[in-house]
C-alpha cells in the first residue's frame, strides 16, 4: 500500500505526464510535416502512455490518483515565461526532461521503493532519455534558422529558471522523497 507522500508524488508524475501529452499532442496536430512533427508525435504518444503507466501503477497498489491542479510544466512556465517559438519550446523541454530523469532516478534509488514503482520508473526513463536525444538533435538542426548563439543563450536562460524551480517549488518533492527514505 502506498503512503500519503508516495501517492502524492506518483499522482504528480501522472498529472505532469498528462499535461506534457496534451501540450505536445496539440503541437503535433498543428505542425507542418517534418522530422520534428514525427518525433513530437512519438513524444506525445510516450507521455500519454506514461500517464497510463502511472495510473495503472497507482491502481495496482490499491490506491486512486489524487486530483492535482498543478504539474511540472506549470512551474516551468511560471519561472521561465511562456516560450514563443518552436526552438524555445524544445529548449525548455530539454531542460525539463533532464530534470524529470534526475527526479525519477533519485526516486528509483530509494531502498524501500515498491518493485512496481521502480519498474514503472525504469520503463519511463528509457523513453525520457530518447526525448532528450531527439530534442538535442532537433535543436542542432535549428542552428541555421535561429543561430547557435541564440540557442545556447536560450538553453542557459532556461537552465537558470530550472534552478529557480528546483530551489523553490520542488522543495515539496524533496521533503516527500526524504520522508520515504526514513
Partner 1 sequence: MFDKDAVKEKIASFLKQPISRLQDDALLTNLVVESFILVEMIIELQDDFGVQLVQEDMRDVKTVGQLTELLVSRGKAAASHA
- Is residue 150 part of the contact set for partner 1 (CB under 8 A)? yes
What is d(CA 154, CA 160) in angstroms, rounded to the nearest whole number?
10
DSSP 75-115: HHHHHH----SHHHHHHHHHHHHHHHHHHHHHHHT-TT--H
| Residue 54: Cβ within 10 Å count | 24
Task: Check residue 101 for interaction with partner 1 (CB under 8 A).
Answer: no
By CB under 8 A, the residues from 16 to 75 that bind partner 1 are 19, 22-23, 26-27, 30, 32, 73
How is residue 57 written as a grid cell?
Answer: 501503477
In the complex, the smallest distance separating the C-beta of residue 14 from partner 1, rounded to whole angstroms, is: 18
Phi, psi for residue 93 in degrees, rounded to 5: -70, -40
CB of 32 to partner 1, least distance (A): 7
Binds partner 1 (CB under 8 A): choice among 64, 81, 141, 175: 81
We find the least distance from the C-beta atom of residue 129 to partner 1, in angstroms, to be 24
| DSSP 8-state secondary structure symbol assigned to residue 135 | H
Nearer to partner 1, 48 or 61 (CB): 48
**Given the rule CB under 8 A, which residues bind partner 1?**
19, 22-23, 26-27, 30, 32, 73, 77, 81-86, 88-89, 145, 150, 154
Amino acid at each position: 500500500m502506498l503512503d500519503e507522500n508516495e501517492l502524492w508524488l506518483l499522482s504528480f508524475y501522472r498529472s505532469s505526464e498528462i499535461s506534457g501529452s496534451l501540450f505536445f499532442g496539440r503541437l503535433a496536430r498543428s505542425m507542418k510535416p517534418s522530422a520534428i512533427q514525427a518525433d513530437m508525435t512519438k513524444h506525445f504518444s510516450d507521455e500519454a502512455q506514461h500517464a497510463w503507466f502511472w495510473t495503472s501503477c497507482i491502481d495496482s497498489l490499491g490506491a486512486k490518483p489524487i486530483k492535482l491542479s498543478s504539474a511540472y510544466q506549470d512551474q516551468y512556465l511560471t519561472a521561465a515565461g511562456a516560450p514563443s517559438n518552436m526552438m524555445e519550446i524544445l529548449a525548455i523541454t530539454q531542460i525539463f526532461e533532464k530534470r524529470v530523469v534526475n527526479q525519477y532516478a533519485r526516486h528509483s534509488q530509494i531502498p524501500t521503493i515498491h518493485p512496481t514503482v521502480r519498474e514503472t520508473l525504469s520503463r519511463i526513463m528509457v523513453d525520457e532519455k530518447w526525448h532528450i536525444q531527439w530534442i538535442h538533435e532537433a535543436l542542432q538542426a535549428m542552428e541555421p534558422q535561429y543561430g547557435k548563439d541564440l540557442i545556447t543563450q536560450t538553453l542557459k536562460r532556461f537552465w537558470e529558471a530550472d534552478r529557480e524551480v528546483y530551489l523553490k517549488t520542488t522543495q515539496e518533492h524533496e521533503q516527500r522523497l526524504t520522508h520515504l527514505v526514513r
